[in-house]
């Protein structure tokens, strides 16, 4: 039985003051819910991690980072290591988000190093994979996913991948208001699980959690969560408001009840 996971990617939004306000609001509202044991993860910007960690003390809400660098320390101006994130209170790290691949030169090779660094520092990597609109229209979706997974997971064994989460995020659905239909998402999630079976084994493929990400909102989470291979959501825009993110968690909890 896979535990549902709903993560909020705050991207480059929220000052420290705003992040404290949002996390306090979420802590208060989510406490009132019967979350059915769902893992809820907040991923604020680096600057607000420590403060949000303080807010989340004595709550079961988890903290994640949006990226990391693979060295523990060194002359790498502007970077933040997995070790530093762990110290700041993180237990998760988003790795290979399409915005990092698109704007900051992230490749499968750097993603792979980051996953290894996360695992070595007790962080659960959320590996983001997904095709662009051009790739989907050219019928290359499955090839792109195979490339992201095969190369992103290079050198990782079964025990490693069992400590990870995969997020399928079609690039054309991120921040665009266009969500993949539940059927489109399920088709790809099923493909990813089958690929994991081929790369590892059936048991591993059945245990690994695969989230969907791309314009997830309170209005579409229930239908997505009803799909057999969708184990939660990675939420961008709708994670920036207490009401919408709480509603997403609430609706996901209703589906798994």
Nearer to ligand PEP, 39 or 169 (CB): 169
DSSP for 89-136 reads T-SEEEES-HHHHHHS---HHHHHHHHHHHHHTT-EEEEEE---HHHH
Distance of CA 99 to the CA centre of its chain: 13
Q: Which residues ranging from 233 to 252 are in contact with ligand PEP (CB under 6 A)?
A: 234-238
Q: Does 169 bind ligand PEP (CB under 6 A)?
A: yes
Q: Does 144 bind ligand PEP (CB under 6 A)?
A: no
Residue pair 205/196 in contact (Cβ under 8 Å)? The answer is yes
- Number of shown-chain residues binding ligand PEP (CB under 6 A): 14
- With 0-12 CB in 10 A as exposed, 13-18 as middle and 19+ as buried, what is 112? buried
Q: Within a 13 Å sphere around the CA of 32, how many CA atoms are in the beta-carbon half?
A: 9
Nearer to ligand PEP, 9 or 246 (CB): 9
The site map against ligand PEP for 2-41 (x = CB under 6 A) is -------x-x------------------------------
Catalytic residue IDs? 97, 169
Q: Which residues ranging from 175 to 234 are in contact with ligand PEP (CB under 6 A)?
A: 175, 213-216, 234
**Could you list the residues that contact ligand PEP (CB under 6 A)?**
9, 11, 169, 174-175, 213-216, 234-238
């Amino acid at each position: 039985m896979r535990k549902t996971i709903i993560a909020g990617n705050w991207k480059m939004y929220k000052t420290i003051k705003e992040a404290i306000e949002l996390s306090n609001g979420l802590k208060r509202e989510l406490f009132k819910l019967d979350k059915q044991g769902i893992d809820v993860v907040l991923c604020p910007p680096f600057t607000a991690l420590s403060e949000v960690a303080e807010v989340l003390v004595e709550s079961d809400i988890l903290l994640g980072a949006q990226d990391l660098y693979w060295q523990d320390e060194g002359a790498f101006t502007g970077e933040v290591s997995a070790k530093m994130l762990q110290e700041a209170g993180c237990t998760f790290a988003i790795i290979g988000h399409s915005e990092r691949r698109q704007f900051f030169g992230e490749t499968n090779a750097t993603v792979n190093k980051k996953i290894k660094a996360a695992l070595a520092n007790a962080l659960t990597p959320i590996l983001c994979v997904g095709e662009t609109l051009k790739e989907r229209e050219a019928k290359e979706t499955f090839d792109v996913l195979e490339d992201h997974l095969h190369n992103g997971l290079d050198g990782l064994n079964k025990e490693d991948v069992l400590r990870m989460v995969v997020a399928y995020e079609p690039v054309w659905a991120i921040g665009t208001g266009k969500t993949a239909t539940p059927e489109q998402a399920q088709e790809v999630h099923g493909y990813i699980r089958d690929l994991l079976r081929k790369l590892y084994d059936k048991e591993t493929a059945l245990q690994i959690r695969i989230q969907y990400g791309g314009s997830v909102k309170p209005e579409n989470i229930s239908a997505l969560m009803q799909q057999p291979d969708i184990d939660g959501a990675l939420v961008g825009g709708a994670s920036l408001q207490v009401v919408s993110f709480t509603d997403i968690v609430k609706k996901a909890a209703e589906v798994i009840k």
